[in-house]
Amino acid sequence: MYAKILILRFPQTEVQKPIVCYLARDYNLTFNILNAAVLPRREGVMVLELSGERRDFKKGVSYLKSQGVDVQNASQEVERNNDKCTHCGACTAVCPTAALHICRPRMNVEFDKEKCSVCELCVTACPTRAMLVRPAAQVFFE
């Protein structure tokens, strides 16, 4: 299961179409609308948590973009403090997406942010506290 919080910006021409409903029907994705400001004949903004299988998630996001929807990550992201990391590998044992993995033969722990689902399991598993969670973006509605 893969999940992210996304900010969707709908162009004026697409705001009245049931685009988000197709994510559930055509791509087997589950969504939870966290905040929305969608008005007829005006740009719409929606914050939603989207979850499903990774391949369906990617197809769903591609569909949104093909409809002219601007898709941005929101919420938070995981970062690694390379100065604190000792490459012990404790984080790799708990990472469900293999965003953290051991690179052989050097035996260094590599971190691929693109694969990270921000589950935060690595944060508590890291004995040196090298893994950090920080806000990625904030959206405020009037």
List all residues 6 or more positions away from 61 whose beta carbon is below 8 Å from its beta carbon: 6, 50, 71
Q: All domains of the chain, ordered by start, with CATH?
A: 2-73 (3.30.70.260), 77-135 (3.30.70.20)
User: What's the confidence (pLDDT) of residue 2?
Assistant: 81
**Res 72: pLDDT:** 85
Contact (CB, 8 A) for 82 and 131: no
Residue-by-residue pLDDT tens, the chain, 142 positions? 788 888 888 888 887 788 889 999 999 999 988 778 877 778 888 888 899 998 999 999 999 999 999 998 776 778 999 999 999 999 999 988 899 999 999 999 999 988 887 777 898 899 999 998 886 654 443 3
The pLDDT score that the predictor gives to residue 140 is 40
CA distance 91 to 68: 38
State residue 141's pLDDT score: 39
Q: How far apart are CA 115 and CA 49, in angstroms?
A: 17
Predicted TM-score of the model (pTM): 0.54
For position 39, what pLDDT does the model report? 76
The pLDDT value recorded for residue 5 is 80
Q: In the chain, helix, strand, coil percent, each to 5? A: 25, 35, 40
